Every structure is written in C-alpha cells, then in structure tokens.
C-alpha cells in the first residue's frame, strides 16, 4: 500500500509520531508520477527541485495543521509564483507569475508542498480536458475515456494516487463533473467562500476554487484551510468559516432531502438514475427522508450558462492582446495585425468560439435579447432553489447524466458536450455549494452523487456526504493501472 493511499489525517499522525518525513511523502509522490503519469498525463509542469528542497526544510518539524508537508497539485489556472502557469493555452505557454494566488498563500502558510501544475481545458472552457493546447489527460479507470473537465488533471492525479489532494476551479461543474468521472470527491464551495484573487478568470460571477480529494474528511480539511474573507477579492463574503470536521459524525437522522424530478428525467442514463435511487435507500437507512420536488427553470440552465459565461469570458480574455504579456505573434505588419494574429494563433477553437458568442451576446441590439434575458433566467433558477431550501436541508441527484465519455467521442459534438453539464450548471448560477461523491459503477466507470446545500452551508453537505460515504464504501475502490 502506498503512503499516498492513506487519508491526510493519517499521514499527519505518522508525521507527528516521526514515523515518516516530509521527504518520504514527496519521494512517494514523484515515484508514483514516474510510474503512471506517462499514461495519465495529468501534469503540465512539475516543481520537483523546489518540492524536495521544501521537504528537507520541513523534515524533523511537526506542525498542528493537518496539511503540513502534504503533497498538493494545483490546476494550471491558479497563479503560482515563479512556477509556470499556462491555463493549458499557447497564449500563456511561457508565463511565469511574480505572485501567488490567495489560495496558494494559504496552502504555503499551512506548509503543504506543491508538486506541480495540472492539465485542464484551455482557460477552463470545456468538459473533457481535451481542449488543452498541450495534451489530453486520461481517466485512470479507463485510459480510453476522458477524466472530465475542466479540472480533469486535478481529478485524474488524485484518482491515480499521485497526490492526496488537488485544487480545481468550478464554473459550471468543472470540479464535480471530473470528480464523478474519476471516482473521487470534489466540492464547489458557495460563491464568495474562497478567494478568486490570483485565479485566471473565465466567468467572474461563477468561478470558484475548491478541493478534489479521495475522501470527504480530506476534502473538508482542505476547504478549512483555503476558505475565508480576502480584502483583495471584493466577492469574498465576511462569513465565519465553521469547523467542517466537527459535523462528520455519520448522524443524519431527521434530515430532509429534496430530489428534483428534472434531475432524474430525460437525458439521464438509467445507470445514473438507479445509482441515485440506491443512494437514497442508504440515506433512508441512516434516518433521512426524501421527497420528489421540481426545479422548473433548471431546463434553461445550459443556455443561460453559456450566454452568461461566454459574455464574461469575452470581456475577461480581452486583456490577452499580444502586447503586455502572453503570446505575441512574430513580425506583425501593424498594431491591428498584432492583435488579430496573436489572438487567433494563441487561443484554441473552443476559446475563440466562446469569445465570439459572448461578444455577439453583449453587442448593441442583442444585449437585451440574450445577455439580459439570461440574467433574468438565472434569477428564476436561484428562486427555484430558494423555495426548495425553505423546506428541505439538501438537494440530491446525479452529478452527471452518464459516465465518462470516450476520448474524441463528444469533442466535436458540442451540444452533447455542453448538455453534459446540465446537472451541475444550476448550482453555479445560483451561487450554491455542491459536492460530488462516488456512488457506484457502470461498465467499470464511476458514477457520482451530487449533494447541493444552502448558501454557506458546506457543513451540512459534508455531513451528508460523509454519512453516505461511510455507509456505501465506494471511496475505498481504486483504479488498477
């Protein structure tokens, strides 16, 4: 059994007893990377020299923070000082930041050890990690399948045992969907719970950083460390960060669960639907009750999401102009030629597609018909959740309509790829927290159970997720590479 198969709290205890060292953990991580990442292709950049140097500094020391000396992987749209940050795009291929994102400062304060940067869909735009400019990450459960996206590298690295935890970002399901596809635990926090300072923006009103781990307890530990108010990010909320771990008791007696009929209807495979019904039986056995409800405006989620995100992306990506930083075309004829060629050569097809859609939706004569209408639909989607949460503690459904796609299966079928996020998108539009935990398998591929909570109530969804995880035991299964 690899050291990295153990939970973070168990590794911390071994470090505390001085039965292992920080160097042992870093050695184990790089050993596993050398063994399997040639097949998985989760990492874009490794930081081996700095990781080993930091481990040597920490050897012999012990700190109370459970993340002390724990190896970590970071999605490549999170800024890391002096460590290449590419967003998996040719546009930022040689970008070496001069500062750290807030979440990186918090991990560094905890003395976690950064192993490297992880592959993703370019600028987080995609659902399969196939839009990366550099490589296609593979699913550890089936190397012919995708790991999901856009945080596919983060989920695949954790699932394949290369790291105990990784950070991802979630704009419309980009933590939860790959977590479901790879059979791990992924949490999208409440919008405003975690700072976005130093995270390369895709859609600023939806993006959130969150943890991907093998267990619910590990996930809660990581969120405990990265959450909180940040004066450099005006969208963070001045809410106390509760003790998420104290709620992991396994007791959910009296919990009221809402199950939207739209989440088990058209477009959801029978395997995904049945896995949720089986999970609900487990939760009933633990003392919870559930009822079917309706979220009638969720059917507008996908179209609303793509209008809002594309509009925000077109504005956010305007800064990549070939002048200040990033890719710049050689020998342009004039300034306009510099702009055109730098952007057309630096961005991939999916990014260009969304920039054009967003620019169109924001343009004079179309703003009211598209962007404004999408924001109105977004409000209705949030109101649906508000009504349900007035009576119920959590909302539960499948994380994805089906298990992981084969590589190349949907990358050219855009409507199918976009519809794959139909169950995760409403959570981002409403700013709610949501977690995906493993809940079964079909044809050898994992399925995910999505648990959605009230604003800033991650503690309850962790409590439910932990109770289910301990009763069902799917988190103990690992892919055989």
pLDDT of 325 reads 86
In a domain, 413, yes or no: no
Closest C-alpha among 459, 2, 427 to residue 188: 427
Q: Over the stretch 271-330, which tens digit does the pLDDT of each residue have? A: 999 999 999 999 999 999 999 999 999 999 999 999 999 999 999 999 999 998 899 999
What's the CATH code of the domain at 7?
A: 3.90.1300.10
CA-to-CA distance for 420 and 173, rounded, in angstroms?
9
Rounded to two decimals, the pTM is: 0.97
Domain that holds residue 10: 3-248
Q: Strand, helix or coil at 36?
A: helix
DSSP-assigned states of every residue in 195-206: --TTB--SSTTT
Calculate mean pLDDT across residues 409-433.
88
Report which of residues 365 and 214 the model is more confident about. 214
In a domain, 289, yes or no: no
In a domain, 331, yes or no: no
Q: CB-side exposure of 89: number of CA atoms within 13 Å? A: 29
pLDDT of 266 reads 85
CA-to-CA distance for 433 and 14, rounded, in angstroms?
32
DSSP-assigned states of every residue in 51-71: HHHHHHHHTT---SSTTTT-E
Non-local CB neighbours of 414 within 8 Å, separated by 6+ positions: 353
Calculate mean pLDDT across residues 206-217.
98
In a domain, 347, yes or no: no
Asked whether the predicted pLDDT for residue 60 surpasses 90, the reply is: no
pLDDT of 481 reads 86
Q: Tokens 């990033």 correspond to what residue? A: 326
In a domain, 355, yes or no: no
CA-to-CA distance for 451 and 136, rounded, in angstroms?
29
pLDDT of 416 reads 74
Confidence of residue 93 (pLDDT cuts 50, 70, 90): very high
In a domain, 164, yes or no: yes
Percentage, residues of the chain above pLDDT 90: 95
Asked whether the predicted pLDDT for residue 414 surpasses 80, the reply is: no
In a domain, 387, yes or no: no
Calculate mean pLDDT across residues 170-199.
98
Backbone φ and ψ for 92, nearest 5 degrees, come out as: -120, 30
pLDDT of 229 reads 98
Could you tell me whether strands 445-452 and 434-442 are parallel, antiparallel, or unpaired per DSSP bridges? antiparallel
Asked whether the predicted pLDDT for residue 410 surpasses 90, the reply is: no
Q: Over the stretch 20-45, which tens digit does the pLDDT of each residue have? A: 999 999 999 999 999 999 999 999 99
Q: Over the stretch 230-243, which tens digit does the pLDDT of each residue have? A: 999 999 999 999 99
Structural domains in the chain (count): 1
CA-to-CA distance for 481 and 35, rounded, in angstroms?
10
pLDDT of 47 reads 98
Percentage, residues of the chain above pLDDT 70: 100
Q: Which residues are catalytic?
A: 75, 150, 174
In a domain, 376, yes or no: no
């Amino acid at each position: 059994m690899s050291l990295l198969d153990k939970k973070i709290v168990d590794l911390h205890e071994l470090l505390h007893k001085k039965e292992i060292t920080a160097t042992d953990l870093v050695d184990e991580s790089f050993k596993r990377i050398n063994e399997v990442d040639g097949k998985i292709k989760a990492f874009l950049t490794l930081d081996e020299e700095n990781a080993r140097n930091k481990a040597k500094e920490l050897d012999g020391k012990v700190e109370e923070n459970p993340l002390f000396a724990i190896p970590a992987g970071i999605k490549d749209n999170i800024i890391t000082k002096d460590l290449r940050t590419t967003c998996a795009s040719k546009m930022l291929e040689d970008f070496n930041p001069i500062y750290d994102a807030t979440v990186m400062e918090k991990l560094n304060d905890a003395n976690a050890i950064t192993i490297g940067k992880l592959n993703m869909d370019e600028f987080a735009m995609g659902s399969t990690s196939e839009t990366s400019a550099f490589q296609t990450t593979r699913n550890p459960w089936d190397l012919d399948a995708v790991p999901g996206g856009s945080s596919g590298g983060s989920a695949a690295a954790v699932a394949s045992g290369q790291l105990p935890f990784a950070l991802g970002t979630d704009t419309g399901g980009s933590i939860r969907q790959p977590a479901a596809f790879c059979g791990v635990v992924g949490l999208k926090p409440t919008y405003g719970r975690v700072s976005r300072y130093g995270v390369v923006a895709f859609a600023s009103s939806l993006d959130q950083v969150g943890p991907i781990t093998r267990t619910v307890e590990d996930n809660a530990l990581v969120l405990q460390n990265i959450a909180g108010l940040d004066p450099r990010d005006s969208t963070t909320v001045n809410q106390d960060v509760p003790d998420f771990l104290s709620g992991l008791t396994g007791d959910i007696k009296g919990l009221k669960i809402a199950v939207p009929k739209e989440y088990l209807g058209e477009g959801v495979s029978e395997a995904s639907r049945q896995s949720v019904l089986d999970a609900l039986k487990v939760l009933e056995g633990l003392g919870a009750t559930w009822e079917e409800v309706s979220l009638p405006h969720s059917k507008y989620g996908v179209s609303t999401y793509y209008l809002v995100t594309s509009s925000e992306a077109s504005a956010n990506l305007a800064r990549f102009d070939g002048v200040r930083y990033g890719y710049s075309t050689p020998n342009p004829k004039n300034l306009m030629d510099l702009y055109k060629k730098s952007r057309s050569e630096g961005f991939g097809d999916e990014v260009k597609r969304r920039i054009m859609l967003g620019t169109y939706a924001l343009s004079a004569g179309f703003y009211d018909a598209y962007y404004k209408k999408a924001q109105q639909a977004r409000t209705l989607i949030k109101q649906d959740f508000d009504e349900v949460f007035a009576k119920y503690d959590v909302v539960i459904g499948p994380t994805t309509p089906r298990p992981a796609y084969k590589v190349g299966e949907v990358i050219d079928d855009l409507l199918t790829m976009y519809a794959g996020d139909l169950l995760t998108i409403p959570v981002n539009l409403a700013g709610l927290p949501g977690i995906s935990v493993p809940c079964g398998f079909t044809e050898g591929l994992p399925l995910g159970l999505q648990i959605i909570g009230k604003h800033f109530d991650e503690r309850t969804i962790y409590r439910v997720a932990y109770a289910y995880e301990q009763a069902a035991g799917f988190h103990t299964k690992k892919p055989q590479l």
